[in-house]
Amino acid sequence: MPKGVSIPKAIWIWLGEVVDKIVLWIYAKSFALLIAVFVSLRGRQRMSHNNGVAGEGWLKIVDDPEFPEHPFFEKGRQFPIRIRHASATFLDDAMNCIRSISLKFSHHHWKSPFDIEMNTGAQSLFWNALSFLKFAAMRQEKWGVEYVEYMRRYPDGVSGSEGALRRDPISFHNLHYYSKTPFLYLGTDGIKRYAKYRVMPADDEKETGIGTKFSSFDLPNQRVLPFETRGRNFLKYEYMERVEKLGARYRLQIQLRAASDDDDPEVFNNMVIWDDRIYPWVDLAYFNIEKVLDWKESTMTTFSVNNMPKTLGVLPAKSIYDYNSLNYMRSHSEIARKARWLSYKIYGMVPPIPDNDNRNNAEWGK
């Protein structure tokens, strides 16, 4: 019991913490259930990243690691790898979207010892469970315009959005992707650390599609530009061709910082970028993608933050205000994944995105 705190006060604090955790659990489970029923089961959809392409290859941990030793990330160790690139929210590659890469250290569509999901931009658009739910509730998408009121009210969402959106990238391959939220890193030395991950092209190819001039009021407009000539799937086609002709080689990096008892909660805030002069990015692994999977396999491929070793997993969260509550919610969304697979069994696989002129679309089959 902390010094100076009376017993009743301590009980009151403890009760408060319990209530916070219960509330967080309720939020996470309720949200997962809603997504499972209304999005996954009925719509046969993921929550957001439906428009994607998967590939397979091999990953190798670097031979001369500059990071603390960890049994999972043994130097030189190789893993089969499956990745999936996606454009968030919309079924049209030519829209101004956040792009993603998800990694799975496995060739299975589900089972894996290590999964990680990343998006473009070093900052996210939300920072805890509460703000994520507000983000979800305020989507109000219409004709390729979304989050209008959210952008008006949450300037940090705006800055995250400006950093994350990619319009007209040349390829999925040359984008930089970040995990944003920190994870646990408990190495062989037993020292507790926090880790963030990022993926970039292995050959330092320049990133494309980054916005520079942002309108103060038109950021929610993610629509295809007028007179766009490329089709709805151009980015996926480019990736397929790239993998077939050139291959796609990436590097996976890690950023670590030591944990302390008096850590400022902002350490876990995915809107706060760790200073890379103090916490530098170091190479963790390189991986090559040798073949692109078909639409069905790509759609089936699923990732989960629960697919991680305990020493590399999700950090505990205490409440819906806790910055770690984002990963908490992710880890409690299994039901949504299972509901989606069930929906495929009942209703069949979703059709590929057609190369038609129905632009600015977020609906399957149209």
Partner 1 sequence: MDINSACKECKEKTRISYKYDGRFFKPKLLSINHLQLGNSKLLRNPIVLMIEWLLRQFRHLRNRLQAFGKRLFPRRSKVSCHRADSQLVGSIHFAERDQLDKPIHNLRIEFWGRTWWLQWRLLSAGYTDYDGNFSLPFELRQARNWKVIRTQFEAYQTTHVYFKNDTPTLHFERCYLELIPVSNLTGMRYNLRTINLSLWEYRRDTNVPRTKIVNVTNNAPQYYTQGRLDALYQQIVPLELIKIKHLAQIAYAPETISLQEIQTDYAENLTRCIEKKLPGYTRSDEWFGERIMNGMNRGSFLPDKNEPNIYWVKYFGVCNYEHNNEYALPTTEIKFEIQEHGFPRPLAIHLTGPTNAFHKNPWQKKIVTKSDGEEWMFAKRVARVAGGFSTEVDEHFTGTHLNTEQYAIAAYRNFRQNPLACLLFPHLKEVALINHSADKIIIHGYIPSATALTEKGIHDRTRDILGMQDWKNWEPMKVLCDQHDCARADRLFWEILVEYVEDFFEKNLTNIQLHWREVYHFSKDLVEHAVPVFLSDKDLHKLSPAERKLAEDRFEYYSFQYGFDTTATRAVVNGQLKTVSPITTAIRFEDALLDDIPNIKQACCYAIMMATYMHTWINEHQYDDMGEVLYNCGGLRFGDKERGIMAPESDLGIAPDLTRSTQMLWLTNLLSRTEYGFITKNEEGDVNPVFSKLLLAKREEFEKLGVDVHAIESRTNI
For partner 1, the closer of residues 123 and 301 by Cβ is 123
Q: Are 31 and 334 in contact (CB under 8 A)?
A: no
Which of 141, 156, 228, 290 contacts partner 1 by CB under 8 A? 156
Distance separating alpha carbons of residues 290 and 239, to the nearest angstrom = 11
Size of the site for partner 1 (CB under 8 A): 15
Nearest to 75 by CA among 60, 95, 85: 60
Which of 75, 134, 167, 192 contacts partner 1 by CB under 8 A? 134
Which of 42, 111, 153, 366 contacts partner 1 by CB under 8 A? 153
- Give the CA-trace dihedral at 63, 291, 312, 268, to 10 degrees: 110
29 near partner 1, judged by CB under 8 A:
no
154 near partner 1, judged by CB under 8 A:
yes
Crossing angle of the two packed helices 7-34 and 129-137, in degrees rounded to 10: 30
| Min dist. Cβ of residue 68 to partner 1 (A) | 30
Which of 4, 155, 226, 348 contacts partner 1 by CB under 8 A? 155
Which of 279, 321, 341, 364 contacts partner 1 by CB under 8 A? 321
The first and second tokens of residue 347, run together, are 């209703």
For partner 1, the closer of residues 140 and 306 by Cβ is 140
128 near partner 1, judged by CB under 8 A:
yes
Select the span of 130-138, 166-174, 328-336, 347-355 touching partner 1 (CB under 8 A): 130-138
For partner 1, the closer of residues 156 and 290 by Cβ is 156
Which of 131, 171, 302, 324 contacts partner 1 by CB under 8 A? 131
| Min dist. Cβ of residue 23 to partner 1 (A) | 10
For partner 1, the closer of residues 285 and 317 by Cβ is 317
Select the span of 61-69, 126-134, 281-289, 329-337 touching partner 1 (CB under 8 A): 126-134
| Min dist. Cβ of residue 343 to partner 1 (A) | 31
Question: Which 270-289 positions form the footprint of partner 1 (CB under 8 A)?
Answer: 271
The first and second tokens of residue 338, run together, are 């299972």
181 near partner 1, judged by CB under 8 A:
no
Burial label, 76 (beta-carbon count in 10 A; 0-12, 13-18, 19+): exposed
**Cβ contacts of residue 290 below 8 Å, gap of 6+?**
55, 56, 57, 58, 243, 247
| Min dist. Cβ of residue 38 to partner 1 (A) | 21
Nearest to 121 by CA among 101, 141, 136: 101
Separation in Å, CA 92 to CA 53, 66, 133, 235, 297: 13, 40, 25, 9, 19
Distance separating alpha carbons of residues 137 and 124, to the nearest angstrom = 17
Which of 71, 76, 113, 265 contacts partner 1 by CB under 8 A? 265
Distance separating alpha carbons of residues 355 and 97, to the nearest angstrom = 18
Distance separating alpha carbons of residues 157 and 135, to the nearest angstrom = 9
For partner 1, the closer of residues 220 and 313 by Cβ is 220
Which of 130, 240, 273, 300 contacts partner 1 by CB under 8 A? 130
Distance separating alpha carbons of residues 103 and 101, to the nearest angstrom = 7
Distance separating alpha carbons of residues 122 and 106, to the nearest angstrom = 26
Q: Are 286 and 249 in contact (CB under 8 A)?
A: yes
324 near partner 1, judged by CB under 8 A:
no
Residues at the interface with partner 1 (CB under 8 A): 126-128, 130-131, 134, 152-156, 265-266, 271, 321
